[in-house]
Structure formats: structure tokens, C-alpha cells
């Protein structure tokens, strides 16, 4: 059965890998993000649909909801992958501005579309939030980790609310995932060796690692898994 899959932050990295994984099954895939040119390239590559929008803005979320409803009617899988650390490259010394920025980038971009699209979700559908190892270990003094952590109890409550409809809700928390914009430009050989050294598997993660986990959660094999946080970090959260 062909499913309709909606993925935020689907133009690059993890989101692109997730989109490609579902598209390979013949599913209808819609990717959402702020950069129309990036989205269009990826959509053309995987055979999906690009919807440019800033998901931290309620009006744009409503526009996307109306578009999805008109195109597809319903949604089977919603993957909330959009996010990033706006404090990574410094910025204003204004604490409120930094925390508000990461709240918008990581919490609102997941909560607003989920609330707007939840009535479009088919029975036995799937919702997945992409969090981070930083939600468990901290993020070097930035607000990124706390904002990702905020998604966890939200996902638990949503799983309870949507469970009667057969909809599962889970969180995937990646660690060091190479070949993503999140780490690009911030990685020297020493830091890479340190992050890989924290794993038990002796390697960096890949976007495909996350894509396969998300795909499984949306498969019959993951049908009785809900209100869980699946860590995909090679054991790094436990330390060496």
C-alpha cells in the first residue's frame, strides 16, 4: 500500500536520507523546509514534492496543512526532523534571544506542524520526532539540548492522545552523524576522533542509520512501539 509521508527538514542530511528511504518503497513523500532551492533539488532527486515554509510561523504551517489536505487528504507518516543549533556559531550575548531562537528552531518547528496535521493522520499512522544525544548529555552550554529535550514529554503525551487511533509516536535521538550540515564546518580531526572514540561501535553515524530506524518505526515491525526514545549513537550516550 502506498503511503503519504511528510518530512520536515527534508532537503539535506538526515531528513533527505529519511525521505529517500520512504521514496524507495514507492511512498508519496513531501519534504518541507525553508530553502526552496535545496528542497526542489532533493524532491527531483527522490521523486518527491517540495513545500517551502518556515514551520516556526503559524500562518505558514496552516498554509502547508491546507496544501497537504488538498493534495493527499490524509497523512500516514509524519517525521519532525527540522531543527538546528542557532548558537553554534556564537551570536548575540542576549540570553533571551539565543534561547528563543533555539525554541523556535527546534520546538515550534515540531509542535506547530504536529498540532496542525494531527487530524490528517490516518489510523495506524506514525509520528516520529528527531531529537539529539544532547537532550541527555547537554550541548556545551547552549540551549540546543534543553530544546530537544522538551520534545520528549510532548511525544509521550501525544502517544497517549493518539494511541486510541492506533497511531504510534516516538523519538529518535541521534549522536554524531557525519555528512550533515549540523556538523559540517565544525569538525577537525581531533574532535572527530573524540566523538568516534565515545562510541562502542568505533564509527561515526550516518544519515542512513537514522533513516532505517525511522523507517522501521513506521513499519509493521514497529507497530507496538510507542512513547519511546530510540537512541542511535553507537552507545556514545553511555560513554567509554
More confident residue, 216 or 205: 216
Please, what is the end-to-end C-alpha distance for the chain in angstroms?
A: 44
Task: Name the band, by pLDDT with cuts 50, 70 and 90, for residue 195.
Answer: confident
**Average pLDDT, integer, range 182-210:** 79
Task: Name the band, by pLDDT with cuts 50, 70 and 90, for residue 237.
Answer: confident
Determine the pLDDT at residue 185.
60
- Per DSSP, helices labelled H in 141-206 are 144-162, 189-197
Determine the pLDDT at residue 3.
98
With a CB cutoff of 8 Å and minimum separation 6, the contacts of 234 are 175, 199, 200, 201, 202, 203, 205
Output the pTM of the full model: 0.93
- Per DSSP, helices labelled H in 85-228 are 95-103, 109-117, 134-137, 144-162, 189-197, 207-217
Per residue in 23-81, pLDDT (tens digit) is 999 999 999 999 999 999 999 999 999 999 999 999 999 999 999 999 999 999 999 99
Strand 168-174 with 121-130, pairing: parallel
Cite the active site residues.
Answer: 144
Tell me the percentage of the chain whose pLDDT exceeds 70.
93
- Tell me the CB-side half-sphere exposure of residue 204, using CA atoms within 13 A: 15
Contact 48, 30 (CB under 8 A): yes
Per residue in 74-124, pLDDT (tens digit) is 999 999 999 988 876 555 568 999 999 999 999 999 999 999 999 999 999
Amino acid at each position: 500500500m502506498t503511503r503519504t509521508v511528510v518530512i520536515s527538514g527534508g532537503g539535506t542530511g538526515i531528513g533527505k536520507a529519511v525521505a529517500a528511504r520512504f521514496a524507495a518503497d514507492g511512498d508519496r513523500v513531501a519534504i518541507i523546509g525553508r530553502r526552496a532551492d535545496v528542497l526542489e533539488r532533493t524532491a527531483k532527486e527522490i521523486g518527491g514534492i517540495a513545500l517551502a515554509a518556515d514551520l516556526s510561523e503559524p500562518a505558514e504551517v496552516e498554509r502547508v496543512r491546507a496544501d497537504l489536505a488538498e493534495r493527499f487528504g490524509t497523512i500516514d507518516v509524519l517525521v519532525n526532523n527540522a531543527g538546528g543549533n542557532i548558537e553554534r556559531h556564537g551570536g548575540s550575548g542576549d540570553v533571551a534571544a539565543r534561547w528563543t531562537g533555539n525554541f523556535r528552531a527546534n520546538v515550534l518547528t515540531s509542535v506547530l506542524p504536529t498540532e496542525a496535521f494531527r487530524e490528517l493522520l490516518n489510523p495506524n499512522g506514525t509520528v516520529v520526532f528527531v531529537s539529539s544525544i544532547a537532550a541527555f548529555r547537554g550541548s556545551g552550554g547552549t540551549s540546543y539540548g534543553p530544546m530537544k529535550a522538551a520534545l520528549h514529554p510532548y511525544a509521550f503525551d501525544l502517544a497517549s492522545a493518539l494511541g486510541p487511533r492506533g497511531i504510534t509516536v516516538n523519538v529518535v535521538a541521534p549522536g554524531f552523524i557525519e555528512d550533515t550540515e549540523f556538523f559540517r564546518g565544525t569538525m577537525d580531526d581531533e574532535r572527530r576522533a573524540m566523538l568516534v572514540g565515545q562510541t562502542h561501535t568505533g564509527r561515526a553515524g550516518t544519515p542512513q542509520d537514522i533513516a532505517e530506524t525511522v523507517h522501521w518505526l513506521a513499519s509493521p515491525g514497529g507497530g507496538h512501539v510507542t512513547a519511546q526514545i530510540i537512541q542511535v549513537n553507537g552507545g556514545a550516550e553511555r560513554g567509554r
